[in-house]
């Protein structure tokens, strides 16, 4: 199949169904291909893509004075298409994709709460991101909605959310959160259980909604990169990179090769730090503190090196529009090379214990199983998908520089249980260490910073970055004056939370923490 054959086939099938669509300026949002269609064909186009086995990867609206341009992204292997349609404010209704793509459920409701678009025939049309900070008739992303809002002076607790109820002899309910018993982000979980077995879990999120999409409007590119770095603090490098990549594509700006190499180096360092933390925390959640302490030790050493070489333990604000805020010091290459070798040796005895310790096997094997079919249907990416037989990774399958010149090994496991998600992380640490060495071997000389040119009015771009948690897709559009008009960072967590609800079925309540940790969705990245 040549590059556009897959698209012609899709359009031919749509044509057979009587759906006409046009491809406006195919390169404006490259590498994504735009397909514009009428609002009444919105649902048919998604059904057709679902029948072809394409993955649903996000929806967002870009509000204008008369109408809202709604876009949904669909992924076929390594290619992606952006369906777009205009929804007039006079009748802001669009058919829902959630019947054929369960992945669309919550993101459509997010768009409904923030933009005021009603999704027709949605399986659960009620609010999602909105609690009680703004009224039902208000829509924060509407251009005339003031950034300070006009809600009540004090926001009362959320009530009357229509949780699904299960009734029957012996069924009981466990409400948990938003404040959890630990150092974690807030969210509400509603378990229905019989004895120890979980019949159903419903998550209620939105507690850390801080209006990121709204406050991004009117910011300068540098400020947007800093804001993107705080969409989810554990993914600061990759979110900042995705936002910068989108801005750089919008302005058709070539970033110095050295900066791209170092961005990848930072992203792989972030992946290793988070995977180390997660492996330790998963073991800790089944009472095996030894691995937790060992991994915490390695993570701390890793973060101290971040601070020494890049000035920040979590690498915040290092990625900037046009390149990087600081260069790797001259002696940094040797330091890092030595570090990589040390970490390889250090993880070996620890991972050997994780691999075959009987008490870990007992708790992790077969726990929290997510089938390949469920992972596909829910749109999962990252370690959750890789553990369930869906080995997709942007760095290998749709590579952006510098990964287009590197060998990227991607784990491919089938069982889909907690143990597999641990194993994916362990394999990815090794793969990232190899990538880090490759990056150092091929690190080009030169500058790491460049000035982002002044964007053309309405210039827009899409950033696509493989974060440690999965695929990040960020949309940016500039206004007439070179400031940001629309920013939508789509974190992989949108698709991980529904996966958690699915994989907890038939597990026991005490296994919830370890299942949750193995999925490790970001609350902040999801609530925005």
Partner 1 sequence: MLRILRQIGRTGVLTEAPPATDDAALEAAGIELRRTLSSRFRGSFAIRHVDAGSCNGCELEIHALNNPYYDLERFGVHFVASPRHADGLLITGPVSRHMETALRRTWRAMPAPKIAISAGECACTGGMFGVSYASCGRADNVIPIDVRIPGCPPTPTRLLQGILAAIGDQR
Instruction: Tell the smallest beta-carbon distance from residue 180 to partner 1 (Å).
Output: 8
In the bound complex, what is the minimum distance in angstroms from residue 463's beta carbon to partner 1?
Answer: 18
Interstrand relation of 460-466 and 323-324 (parallel, antiparallel or unpaired):
unpaired
Binds partner 1 (CB under 8 A): choice among 47, 158, 434, 437: 158
522 contacts partner 1 (rule: CB under 8 A):
yes
Of 180 and 200, the one with the shorter C-beta distance to partner 1 is 180
Q: Which residues are registered as beta bridge partners of 471?
A: 466
CA 261 from chain centre, in angstroms, equals 22
Query: 405 to 424, contacts with partner 1 by CB under 8 A?
Result: none
493 binds partner 1 (CB under 8 A): no
* Residue span 50-79 as binding mask against partner 1, x where in contact by CB under 8 A, dash where not: ------------------------------
Instruction: Pick the piece of the chain touching partner 1 (CB under 8 A) from 89-97, 145-153, 334-342, 409-417.
Output: 145-153
- Kindly state the smallest distance separating residue 66's Cβ from partner 1, in Å: 24
CA distance 132 to 113: 11
Q: Does residue 326 bind partner 1 (CB under 8 A)?
A: no
Cβ(247)–Cβ(321) below 8 Å? yes
Is residue 358 close enough to count as binding partner 1 by CB under 8 A?
A: no
Helix axes 418-441, 257-285, angle to 10 degrees: 150
Asked if residue 163 binds partner 1 (CB under 8 A), the reply is no
What letters, b where the CB count within 10 A reaches 16 and e where it falls short, cover 307-335?
eebbebebbbbbbbbbbbbbbbeeebeee
In the 8-state DSSP scheme, what is residue 495?
H
Q: How far is CA 254 from CA 257, 260, 288, 406, 463, in A?
A: 9, 10, 48, 19, 14
Give the count of residues interacting with partner 1 (CB under 8 A).
64
Are 492 and 467 spatial neighbours (Cβ–Cβ below 8 Å)?
yes
The answer to the question of residue 472 lying near partner 1 (CB under 8 A) is no
Q: Which of the 8 DSSP states describes residue 452? A: P
> Residue written as tokens 């690190």?
443
Is 513 a binding residue for partner 1 by CB under 8 A? The answer is: no
Q: Which residues pair with 472 in a beta bridge?
A: 465
Pick the stretch among 5-13, 130-138, 193-201, 397-405 that binds partner 1 (CB under 8 A): 130-138
Q: Decide: is 157 part of the binding site for partner 1 (CB under 8 A).
A: yes
- Cα 69 to Cα 101: distance, rounded to the nearest angstrom: 20
Query: Residues 172 to 211: which contact partner 1 by CB under 8 A?
Result: 178-179, 181-186, 206-211
Q: Around Cβ 195, how many Cβ atoms within 10 Å? A: 9
Q: Which contiguous run of DSSP H or E holds residue 242?
A: helix 236-250
Binding site for partner 1 (CB under 8 A): 131-134, 140, 145-151, 154-158, 178-179, 181-186, 206-212, 214-215, 223, 226-227, 230-234, 236, 277, 290, 293-294, 296-297, 299-300, 303, 307, 313-314, 316, 349-350, 352-353, 522-524, 527
């Amino acid at each position: 199949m040549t590059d556009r054959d897959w698209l012609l086939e899709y359009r031919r099938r749509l044509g057979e169904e009587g759906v006409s669509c046009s491809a406006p300026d195919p390169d404006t949002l490259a590498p994504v291909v735009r397909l514009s269609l009428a609002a009444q064909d919105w649902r048919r186009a998604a059904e057709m893509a679902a029948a072809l086995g394409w993955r649903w990867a996000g929806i967002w609206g870009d509000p204008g004075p008369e109408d809202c341009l709604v876009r949904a992204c669909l992924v076929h292997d390594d290619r992606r298409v952006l369906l777009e349609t205009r929804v007039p404010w006079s009748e802001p209704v669009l058919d829902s994709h959630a019947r054929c793509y369960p992945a669309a459920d919550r993101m459509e409701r997010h768009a409904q709460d923030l933009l005021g678009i009603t999704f027709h025939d949605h399986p659960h049309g009620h609010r999602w991101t909105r609690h009680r900070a703004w009224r039902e008739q208000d829509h924060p992303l509407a251009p005339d909605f003031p950034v300070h809002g006009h809600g009540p002076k004090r926001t009362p607790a959320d009530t009357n959310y229509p949780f699904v109820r299960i009734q029957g002899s012996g069924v009981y309910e466990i409400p948990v959160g938003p404040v959890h018993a630990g150092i974690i982000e807030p969210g509400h979980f509603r378990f229905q259980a019989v004895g120890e077995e979980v019949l159903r879990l419903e998550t209620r999120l939105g507690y850390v909604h801080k209006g990121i999409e709204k406050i991004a409007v009117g910011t300068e590119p540098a400020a947007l990169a800093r804001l993107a770095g705080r969409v989810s603090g554990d993914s600061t490098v990759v979110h900042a990179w995705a936002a910068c990549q989108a801005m750089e594509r919008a302005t058709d700006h070539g970033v110095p090769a050295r900066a791209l190499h170092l961005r990848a180096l930072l992203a792989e360092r972030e992946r290793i730090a988070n995977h180390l933390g997660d492996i330790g925390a998963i073991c800790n959640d089944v009472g095996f503190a030894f691995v937790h302490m060992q991994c915490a030790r390695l993570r701390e050493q890793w973060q101290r090196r971040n601070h020494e070489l890049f000035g920040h333990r979590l690498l915040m604000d290092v990625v900037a529009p046009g390149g990087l805020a600081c260069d790797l010091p001259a002696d940094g290459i040797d330091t890092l090379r030595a570090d990589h070798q040390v970490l390889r040796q250090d993880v070996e005895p620890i991972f050997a214990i994780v691999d075959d310790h009987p008490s870990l096997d007992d708790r992790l094997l077969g726990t929290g199983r997510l089938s390949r079919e469920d992972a596909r249907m829910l749109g999962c990416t990252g370690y959750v998908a890789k553990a369930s037989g869906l080995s997709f990774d942007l760095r290998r399958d749709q590579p952006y520089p510098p990964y287009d010149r590197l060998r990227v090994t991607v784990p491919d496991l089938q069982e889909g249980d907690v143990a597999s998600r641990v194993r994916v992380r362990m394999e990815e640490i090794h793969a990232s260490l190899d990538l880090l060495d490759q990056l150092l071997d091929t690190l080009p000389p030169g500058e790491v910073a460049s000035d982002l040119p002044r964007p053309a009015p309405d210039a827009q771009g899409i950033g696509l970055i493989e974060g440690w948690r999965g695929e990040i897709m960020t949309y940016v559009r500039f206004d007439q004056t070179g400031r940001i008009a629309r920013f939508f960072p789509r974190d992989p967590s949108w698709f991980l939370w529904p996966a958690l609800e699915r994989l907890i079925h038939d597990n026991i309540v005490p296994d919830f923490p370890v299942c949750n940790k193995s999925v490790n969705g970001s609350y902040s990245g999801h609530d925005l």
